[in-house]
Amino acid sequence: MLSFIFNRGLQIVPVIIGVTLATFLLAQIIPGDPADVLLGSMASEEARQQLRVALGLNEPIYVQYAIYLKNLLQGDLGQSFTFAQPVTQVIVERLFNTSLLAVAAILLASVAGVAAGTWAALRPGSVRDQGLSVIVLFFNSMPSFWLGLVLILIFGLHLRLLPIGGMQDATGSSGIGSLVAHMALPTITLAAWSLAVIARMTRSSILDVINSDYIRTARSRGVSEVRIVLCHALPNAMPSVITVIGMQMGFLLSGAVLTETVFSWPGIGLAMYQAISTRDIPLIQGGILVLAVAFVLINFAVDILYAYFNPKIKLG
| Domain boundaries along the sequence of the chain | 2-87, 89-315
| 94, 266 contact by CB (below 8 A) | yes
CA-based end-to-end distance of the chain = 12
> Tens digit of pLDDT for each residue in 52-103?
777 677 778 888 888 888 888 888 888 887 788 899 999 988 888 888 898 9
> Tens digit of pLDDT for each residue in 11-28?
788 888 888 888 888 777
Interatomic CA distance for residues 105 and 148, integer angstroms: 14
Phi and psi (nearest 5°) for 200? -65, -40
The closest alpha carbon to 180, from 168, 170, 193, belongs to 168
- Structure pTM? 0.79
Q: What residues are paired with 79 via a beta bridge?
A: 86
| 133, 126 contact by CB (below 8 A) | no
| 42, 301 contact by CB (below 8 A) | no
> Tens digit of pLDDT for each residue in 130-161?
888 888 888 878 888 888 889 999 988 888 88
> Tens digit of pLDDT for each residue in 217-270?
877 888 777 787 777 777 878 878 888 888 888 778 777 788 888 898 888 888
Contacts of residue 128, defined as CB under 8 A and 6 or more positions apart, other chains included, come to: 119, 120
The closest alpha carbon to 147, from 14, 258, 237, belongs to 258
Q: Does domain 89-315 have CATH number 1.10.3720.10?
A: yes
DSSP track, 161-174:
-S--SSSS-TT---
Interatomic CA distance for residues 20 and 293, integer angstroms: 9
Interatomic CA distance for residues 137 and 167, integer angstroms: 31
DSSP 79: B
The closest alpha carbon to 87, from 293, 284, 256, belongs to 284
